[in-house]
Structure 1
Amino acid sequence: MDTIQDHSHSPSPARRLRAAALRAPAFAALCALLALAPAHAAGPAEVAAADRAAWPRPIDSPAAFDRASRAEILAFAHELALSEPLDDAALAQRLRLKQVDRASVDKIRARWWRRLSDNYRLAARACAPREPFCAPAGDAAALRALATDFGAAPQAEFAAWRADAARFHRIYLDEQLRLAALFPRTSSEIDTYSAQEIDGSELPDRQFLLTFDDGPTAPGGNTDTLLRTLREHKLNATFFVLGERLQPRLKSEAAAKTYAGMCVASHGWEHQSHSRWPQWQDSVIRSSALAREHAGALYRPLFRPPYGQRRADSGEFFRAQGLRVALWTIDSQDWNAKVGAGEVQGRLLSLMLLWRHGTILFHDIHDKARVALPWLLRQTRGAGVRWVDCNTYPAP
């Protein structure tokens, strides 16, 4: 439950403030405070979920991964190019927002074009003669021109995929544009405030870091199932734990035993946005101390803010605590009631093909992560994907 869209599990900070205003005599003062504070917008009406069964070929080799990657890059870039002529009013209407931060949107779009261009070149390095999705594009401008014309499948066998990809990437683009349009007024994983914050975008090609938030569950729950899956595949991951969940779990088993072979970091004492929460610093300090004390050598000095929301001026605080803010680049949406486990699977594989590296966000408290992870590992077997050792990220 880590993106801006997910506030359904508890009243939003704005609603709590309104309720307090109705009960308190200082109604006018609280209303004035609320008006000055950044609002949490409702999430998007749709969540992007891809149908990987529409892709007609297996992804069982590096060449097959690259072919599918080129296709996803062109499909997303096509939607991105189509969105660029929209003025602020039209974009706000499309995203169901009152206003957009144009500077933030322009910055994120420029970054996307750079990454897409780099990724396309990497995916096209070994193009064989007559390979599909292999038209040359040496820079971002060339890719934009190529993607703008990418309206139909190059061959009949890809027609079903192209239709599904158009829907998927339009919805996914709007998810991301929404975050960009709200940043920095409402912070999220869409951008970092400084080089001190990390999100996995700097990882090498085909390398992905697995991360899990909001746990642990009670003994025998989803956390233990996911840990067993990771160990069976000789993989590890970073688990960003909540202090209020870890503390009762410690009564039955030491954290060093529960998470043996993994990495443990803090997600806060409770799952509250930092945007207007007076106790956010205490939450960071308490949860990090608990994880450090009980995870021992497994502990990593990282902090993942709930919903990805942190204050723009919080960098000095985290430095003083010896912590780095750790965000993500690929959201599985496993927390979202709008998507099922199969849809989470398709979404993840399509986004791995699109971005080609990064940090994947799961939640070990949800069943969908337990189902999606083994599927994802099977689908990428032989594709040249490397799952990053959490002990090596970030590099010392």
Structure 2
Amino acid sequence: MLAAAVCATQAAVAAPSVATLERSHWPERIDSPVLFDVASRAHILLFARSLLASESQDEAQLTTRLGLRQINLLAINDLRQRLWQRLWANFDLAQQSCEQDASFCYAIDSESELRTQAADLGIDPESFYAGFAVPGQVFSEAYLNELLRLAAVSPQTTSEVQLLSEQEFDGNGFADRTFLLSFDGGPGPVDGTTDALTGYLRAQDLSATFFVPGQTLQARAEKTSVAQLQALYAGQCVATLGWQYVSHGQWDKWQDSVLRSIALLQADLPDSYVPWFRPPYGQRRADSGGFFAGAGLKVALWNIDSMDDDSRLTAQQAGERTLSLMLLWRRGIVVFHDTLAKAQTAVPWLMRETAQTDIAWQACADVR
């Protein structure tokens, strides 16, 4: 998703790297709420160090760093400010368990003190966590580049890194340790990956929001039946990606695309339908808030992208990336693609890895 959004407007010098991190570099299982906090603090501090270092680079250096021809420095600075606010809020939550485990705990009481600690951060070569230091920093640098690149090409190309109206949400406003699982692009072929994932979720007493293109949903109903479509999504939530999985940022028929899809969902899946629109690639018009308000729709973005749609990532890497970002942001909307086989491996792995951390997987129907 991230790469597609950028390439829509500017040619990069080379394909941007995707942040991945083998969880084996972290030396202990994250099998308790306290150990979730320890890993969370480590990720926040390393990412804060990367963010702080990026602020010393001027516009020309950032342009080269991001592999773009030109950048929107004001948008980058605005994103940095919001990132610092989230990092401090998350670190403050993560340090509440420092009495149980003092790893990566410091006397930090404000955003400015977090900046100071990030600048001074060092992981001793003899530390239990020494093996995480370099891979963790590499991951932080690569992920920061992904975010900065999205900000750099705005407002010509909108994305998930900025909310444009009160109708939009991305999961950063959820309660601590609360996550919503979401999938894009389905339904897939009969008895394919979408069927497997919805069956798995029901068996685990979990729910997710499935964002579907209207024409794909219609084709599946015509091949089977509306009743079978309803059975497919029983216990789950279904929202729209528009009629086609194409950018709605410049398309002159974007409003018709959204309204036509809503009508189909309301008619065929009334028990599963939720009034949300997810813009493909995160691209939508900057002045679209009034339309969505008038249509009674929320724009559901995301803040944790598995990148399972990137051919360079394996299913394991997509799952590991997702867990790393969950530790960093501590709440949010996770996105996978139910038409890809990777999610069938990555999602169960993610559930096993977080089973003892006391995180909450939000029931999709309860999100307002």
TM-score using structure 1 length:
0.89
- Contact kept, 8 Å, 1:40 with 1:186, in 2: the verdict is no
Letter in 2 for 1:366: L
Partner secondary structure for residue 338 of structure 1: coil
Partner secondary structure for residue 209 of structure 1: strand
- Contact kept, 8 Å, 1:133 with 1:154, in 2: the verdict is no
Superposition map of 1:45-56 within 5 A: 45-56=16-27
1:6: which partner in 2?
4
Letter in 2 for 1:331: D
Change (3 A) 1:350 1:4: closer
Superposition map of 1:111-150 within 5 A: 111-128=82-99, 131-150=102-121
- Contact kept, 8 Å, 1:209 with 1:390, in 2: the verdict is yes
Partner secondary structure for residue 302 of structure 1: strand
1:208: which partner in 2?
179
1:375: which partner in 2?
349
Superposition map of 1:1-396 within 5 A: 3-6=1-4, 39-42=9-12, 44-128=15-99, 131-153=102-124, 155-251=126-222, 252-254=224-226, 255-394=229-368
- Contact kept, 8 Å, 2:38 with 2:101, in 1: the verdict is no
Distance in 2 (CA, whole Å) between partners of 1:177 and 1:209 is 24
Partner secondary structure for residue 3 of structure 2: coil
For structure 1, the 5+ residue unaligned runs are: 14-38
- Contact kept, 8 Å, 1:187 with 1:311, in 2: the verdict is yes
Distance in 2 (CA, whole Å) between partners of 1:340 and 1:319 is 39
For structure 2, the 5+ residue unaligned runs are: none
Distance in 1 (CA, whole Å) between partners of 2:166 and 2:255 is 21
Change (3 A) 1:201 1:44: farther
Q: Which has the larger radius of gyration?
A: 1
Structure 1 position 256, deviation (Å) = 2.0
Distance in 2 (CA, whole Å) between partners of 1:149 and 1:44 is 32
- Contact kept, 8 Å, 1:6 with 1:336, in 2: the verdict is no
Letter in 2 for 1:189: E
Change (3 A) 1:352 1:44: farther
Change (3 A) 1:154 1:263: farther
Residue deviations 1:264-318 (CA, integer Å, cap 9, x gap)? 1101111111222222122111111111111112111110011010001111121
Change (3 A) 1:87 1:248: same
Structure 1 position 129, deviation (Å) = 7.0
Partner secondary structure for residue 124 of structure 1: helix
Change (3 A) 1:286 1:249: same
Residue deviations 1:338-386 (CA, integer Å, cap 9, x gap)? 1111111111111000000000011101111111000000000110110
- Contact kept, 8 Å, 2:5 with 2:159, in 1: the verdict is no
Structure 1 position 82, deviation (Å) = 0.8
Residue deviations 1:138-195 (CA, integer Å, cap 9, x gap)? 1111001101122334752211111110111110010011111122221000001012
Distance in 2 (CA, whole Å) between partners of 1:344 and 1:196 is 29
Which aligned runs of 4 or more in structure 1 are off by greater than 3 angstroms? 40-44
- Contact kept, 8 Å, 1:216 with 1:223, in 2: the verdict is yes
Partner secondary structure for residue 156 of structure 1: coil
1:18: which partner in 2?
none
Letter in 1 for 2:281: Y
Structure 1 position 128, deviation (Å) = 2.6
1:34: which partner in 2?
none
Distance in 1 (CA, whole Å) between partners of 2:82 and 2:11 is 24
Change (3 A) 1:59 1:370: same
Distance in 1 (CA, whole Å) between partners of 2:279 and 2:100 is 47
Distance in 1 (CA, whole Å) between partners of 2:15 and 2:170 is 22
Identical pairs, percent: 45
TM-score using structure 2 length:
0.95
Give the total of aligned pairs. 364
- Contact kept, 8 Å, 1:44 with 1:175, in 2: the verdict is no
RMSD of aligned residue pairs (Cα, Å): 1.7
Change (3 A) 1:170 1:4: closer
Distance in 1 (CA, whole Å) between partners of 2:249 and 2:175 is 32
Letter in 1 for 2:219: P
Distance in 1 (CA, whole Å) between partners of 2:65 and 2:303 is 23
Partner secondary structure for residue 376 of structure 1: helix
